[in-house]
Amino acid sequence: MIWPQGSQINQLLINTTKMKTLKDLFMDELADMYDAERRIIKALPKMAKAATCPDLQEAIRSHLKETEGQVRKLDQVFKSFGLKAKGKTCEATVGLLAEGDEIASDFKGSPAINAALISAVQKVEHYEIASYGCLHEWAELLGNTEAADLLRQILDEEKGANESLNELAHSSLNKEALGQSDRTASQDESADERPANLRRGVRPLNTSRNRAVSVTRQ
């Protein structure tokens, strides 16, 4: 058996000390979400302004207040680990918010604007739900009950916001997105399914009378 030499042992020790742990993963994701929430705070007012449905505007503004509170909760999570809060650029949120801006611009003035905005906000919510679900689980495994409790509160808020958006979409905004032209087309398609003489407003032919005339002529 060949034993490692001195330099090889030193390298093994260096590699071991550089190994990432669950706590490293937790703190990395926590910094990611800290940055994400601060970006979302800046983005939500623009989305509320772009919405034309008062209920959707109120839902977005309500979640803005929640998000501001979530940043404060994340500050406390950092403190529970004896660290100062810091963010790391959340590339996923950057991309999702950029897509939201594009959607708001493309559908401005469209009957589909509110449905489009709900879609954009829910994509962010789903990302947050997944992230906070992991952070909550990891905090419990790390034995930090204070952090786990705070993260659970945030997770519940994100789920609640997502459910509110679902209710708005299902209640009216998805149907509103059909627009007048789509409703007219749908009505025309229904009309095309009726017999041709009824579509044109013409009374049905009296086929028995026609047959009688034909027999008489013979």
Which residue segments constitute the domains of the chain, with CATH numbers given? 21-176 (1.20.1260.10)
- What pLDDT, on a 0 to 100 scale, did the predictor assign at position 19? 87
For the chain of 218 residues, list the mean pLDDT of each consecutive stretch of 10: 56 61 98 98 96 95 97 98 97 96 91 93 97 98 98 98 93 72 45 45 43 40
Burial of 65 (0-12, 13-18, 19+ CB in 10 A): exposed
- The pTM for the full model equals 0.74
- Non-local CB neighbours of 197 within 8 Å, separated by 6+ positions: 203, 204, 205
**Structure-derived torsion over alpha carbons of residues 151, 152, 157, 161, reported in degrees to the nearest 10:** 100
pLDDT of residue 170: 87
What is the rounded radius of gyration, in angstroms, for the C-alpha atoms of the chain?
30
**Cβ distance 86 to 34 under 8 Å?**
yes
For 144, the token pair is 């930090």
**3-class SS at 174?**
helix
The reported pLDDT for the residue numbered 201 is 43
Closest CA relative to residue 119, chosen from 62, 162, 58, 152: 162
Asked if residues 61 and 50 have their Cβ atoms less than 8 Å apart, the reply is no
